[in-house]
Amino acid sequence: MALREKLKQMREEFLQDMKDCSLGERLSVIKIKYLGKNGRIAECMKQLKDASKEDRPALGKLINESKVELEQIVAETEERLSTAEKQRRLAEDSVDITLPAKRPQAGSLHPLTIVRNQIVGAFLGLGFEVYDGPEVEYDYYSFEALNIPADHPARDMQDTFYINDKIVLRPHTSPAQIRAMQERGVPIRILCPGKVFRADDDATHSPMFHQIEGLAVEERLSLCDLKGLLEAFAKTVFDRNTKVRFRPSYFPFTEPSVEVDVSCAMCHGKGCRLCKGTGWIEILGAGMVNRRVLENCSVDPDKYTGFAFGLGIERVTMIKYGLPDMRLLFENDIRFLEQFR
């Protein structure tokens, strides 16, 4: 076949291939087929040496013109396909600004954080300040300084997480009170919130939970001051109609000691499942600071008196919202947490 006819046929085949080309990958194949190192144009260039000297210049010019034409068509097609691809992506990513906007999902505080802030806020308004202590604590600060004897059940390994013989995961935030009195001296009014750890786990107990303890040491403080403080706290955190009662109790670090009950928030004292029909729910323990605890902190018990109290944030949260199981507070179920926005 003469070279001129071959170039003509190649051009027709090329145009047909380009007509059917609609993808970038297909275009690359066509480009290699006709313009590649071993493509159709290269074959024509190799056959040019077989032409006569008289025809060689004209044929060489024709081959170059064909090459330029093919390259131009490929370039135009590349531009067309690129533009079409951009338009397709823009169409897929387009946003109809006339549609109503999607409301972003707002986060909220965890119910334990909500109640903690309410409790802390109530006592800050009564002259207390927050004091933080370590969660990994010495046995001395956790027990001995608080007048808890070595044979007390709380010091058993079944109740307390021991790291070694002298270091524990604090079972309460009371050690922070000892540290505060030793560091700052008296008079003092502090609130100690934080995580505590005990070997217990059921519907109303957790091996890790949150506690808030308060301490006030001043001259001439009495049990009447403690009662007035806790009544004001209960009416602030629950509601102004909440009733409070005090029952005698025993704690090694306070003397006298009391347990404090509030009227049930669900039945308002009439009796229900939450309060087990009594109309009352225990919320905290309290009392006047034991003389030995003051002496352990180099405080003169004949000049200063003090009171202390402690409550579990989970327990107050369960009472406040009527929750049947403490474990709901730790499961991080969005359906549950959304109720506290």
Tokens of 112: 């334990």
104 lies in a domain? no
Residues 16 and 159 in one domain: no
CATH, residue 276: 3.30.930.10
Residues 263 and 307 in one domain: yes
Q: What is the DSSP string of 204-217?
A: TB-SEEEEEEEEEE
Residues 146 and 21 in one domain: no
Residue carrying structure tokens 């995580």: 195
335 lies in a domain? yes
311 lies in a domain? yes
Residues 34 and 135 in one domain: no
100 lies in a domain? no
CA–CA distance, 245 with 16 (Å, rounded to integer): 97
Beta carbons within 8 Å of 120's beta carbon, 6+ residues apart = 130, 191, 193, 212
Residues 31 and 175 in one domain: no
Residues 149 and 242 in one domain: yes
Cα–Cα distances in angstroms (integers) from residue 228 to residues 16, 218, 232, 244, 276, in the given order: 97, 16, 6, 10, 27
Residues 266 and 133 in one domain: yes
Residues 116 and 83 in one domain: no
Residues 290 and 149 in one domain: yes
98 lies in a domain? no
107 lies in a domain? no
Nearest to 173 by CA among 218, 130, 109: 130
Query: Residue 43 phi/psi, 5° resolution?
Result: -65, -40
Residues 86 and 118 in one domain: no
Beta strands in the chain (DSSP E): 129-130, 136-138, 167-169, 188-197, 208-218, 244-251, 254-263, 280-289, 305-312
Domain of residue 13, residue span: 3-93
Give strand pairing partners of 307. 216, 288
Into how many domains does the chain fold? 2
Supply the pLDDT for residue 143: 93
- Tell me, yes or no, if the pTM score tops 0.85: no
CA–CA distance, 189 with 138 (Å, rounded to integer): 23
318 lies in a domain? yes
Q: Of 27, 59, 93, which one is at a domain's C-terminal end? A: 93
Residues 134 and 79 in one domain: no
Q: What is the pLDDT along the chain (341 residues), one digit of tens a residue?
A: 477 777 778 888 777 777 766 666 677 888 888 788 788 878 878 777 777 777 778 877 887 888 888 888 888 888 887 888 888 888 888 777 788 878 877 778 999 999 999 999 999 988 999 999 999 999 999 999 999 887 777 666 568 899 998 999 999 999 999 999 999 999 999 999 999 998 877 766 788 999 999 999 999 999 999 999 999 999 999 888 889 999 999 999 999 999 999 988 777 778 887 788 888 989 999 999 999 999 999 999 999 999 999 999 998 998 888 888 888 898 888 888 888 87
Which 3 state secondary structure label does DSSP give 48? helix
Tokens of 52: 């006569």
83 lies in a domain? yes
Residues 67 and 117 in one domain: no
Query: Residue 196 phi/psi, 5° resolution?
Result: -135, 165
Strand (E) or helix (H) holding 256:
strand 254-263
